[in-house]
Every structure is written in C-alpha cells, then in structure tokens.
C-alpha cells in the first residue's frame, strides 16, 4: 500500500499539500519529488518492458 492509500498517510499528505499552498518552498520540493518519483517509475517500467520484449516478440492480445 502506498502512503496516499493509508488513512494516516493520506492525512499527512493532505497537510503537506495545504502547507504547499502557503509556502512556495514546500510546493517546489513536492513538485521536485513528484518528478523524481515519476522518473523512477518510468525507469522501472522501461526495464520491465525491455525484459518482456526480449522474451516475446509481440504484445499479448486481450
């Protein structure tokens, strides 16, 4: 489970988002973290998809 899906984590996330509305530095850091997180997700998916492509020459049909 991710932080945003757990009640305490979601509450903390909401507090940081509210704080970010009033503090530019917090908003900037949250945006920078979101970008780093997105980049790590793209990297992980790239590895997975390349691995899948090496074992299969086509995408599976649904």
- On the CB side of 58, CA atoms within 13 Å amount to 3
b/e burial code for range 5-43 (CB count within 10 A of at least 16 → b): eeeeeeeeeeeeeeebeeeeeeeeebeeeeeeeeeeeee
Chain segment 23-57, per-residue pLDDT in tens: 999 999 999 999 999 999 999 999 998 887 766 65
Q: How many domains are contained in the chain? A: 1
Q: Answer whether residue 1 shows pLDDT above 60.
A: no
In a domain, 27, yes or no: yes
Predicted TM-score (pTM) of this structure:
0.64
In a domain, 42, yes or no: yes
Q: Residue 18's domain spans which residues?
A: 3-54
Q: Mean pLDDT throughout 7-17?
A: 89
- pLDDT value for 32: 95
In a domain, 61, yes or no: no
């Amino acid at each position: 489970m991710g932080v945003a899906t757990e009640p305490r984590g979601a509450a903390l996330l909401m507090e940081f988002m509210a704080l970010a509305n009033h503090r530019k530095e917090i908003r900037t850091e949250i945006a920078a973290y979101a970008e780093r997180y997105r980049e790590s997700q793209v990297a992980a998916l790239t590895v997975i998809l390349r691995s899948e492509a090496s074992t299969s020459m086509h995408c599976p049909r649904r």
